[in-house]
Amino acid sequence: MKVVILAGGFGTRLSEYTDTIPKPMVPIGNKPIIEHIMDIYASYGHNDFYIALGYKGEIIKDYFKNSKKNWKVNLIDTGSDTFTGGRLKRLGKYLGKENFLLTYGDGLSNIDINKLIRFHKDHGKLVTISAVRPPARFGSLSLKGSDVLKFKEKIQLNESWINGGYFVINPKFIDFIEGDNTVLESYPLEKVTDLNEIKAFKHEGFWQCMDHKLDKDLLDQMVKEKKAPWIK
């Protein structure tokens, strides 16, 4: 299955690093976080990657130009100021008519990708979103079983399921994205929620987003101590 990685944002909350490199290239241990993410997918047999580039995308291009991994890596410029939904919209012509995987370039997890895919195929909706329970500064999901009743981005709730950033998507979902200025996490996901075309895959295991230096330091320490749950 094709894997889309949104890797074009500015990463301003990690400016200690992102003044000179794009956020997905910030190193965790001895390699950039985007390569860790790709390793997760590849470990489940999914290594056909479509990376949506933006801010300092040439650095990502240079890195993968010399990669010795047995992966197919498609590096596509989606504009420096394009929002998350717009980046996916621009990739639509490369994705065909089959379901695809989608994630951001800054989150690590030990989520079982193939279980996520089976869950998506079983329910038949347009979108599967992963639901996790980390610190509450991300998109909040209100759930009834696996039904998504409400999606709100970055609600400050301590006891909430939140958007874990690992998706399975039917390409028809892209029709809900108007253009470059569309935020994936606002109208498109809110609309499929209203239409009951989204289900949540609850992941109770490890998940950590690299938003701040403290997050990076935590992930670095896990790698150093050989206690990184996402590494098989």
Confidence of residue 46 (pLDDT cuts 50, 70, 90): very high
Instruction: Please tell me the predicted confidence (pLDDT) of residue 144.
Output: 84
Q: Is residue 98 part of a domain?
A: yes
Instruction: Please tell me the predicted confidence (pLDDT) of residue 143.
Output: 81
Confidence of residue 142 (pLDDT cuts 50, 70, 90): confident
Instruction: Please tell me the predicted confidence (pLDDT) of residue 135.
Output: 56
Structurally, the chain folds into a number of domains equal to 1
The CA distance from 136 to 34, in Å, is: 23
**CATH number of the domain that residue 112 is part of:** 3.90.550.10
Q: Is residue 230 part of a domain?
A: no
Q: Is residue 125 part of a domain?
A: yes
Confidence of residue 154 (pLDDT cuts 50, 70, 90): low
pTM of the model: 0.89
- H or E segment and range at residue 7: strand 2-7
Which range marks the domain in which residue 114 is found? 2-224
Question: CA dihedral defined by 38, 40, 46, 49, rounded to 10 degrees?
Answer: -10
pLDDT of 230 > 80? The answer is yes
pLDDT of 224 > 50? The answer is yes
Tokens of 11: 């990463």
pLDDT of 158 > 80? The answer is no
Confidence of residue 150 (pLDDT cuts 50, 70, 90): confident
Q: Is residue 229 part of a domain?
A: no
Q: Is residue 232 part of a domain?
A: no
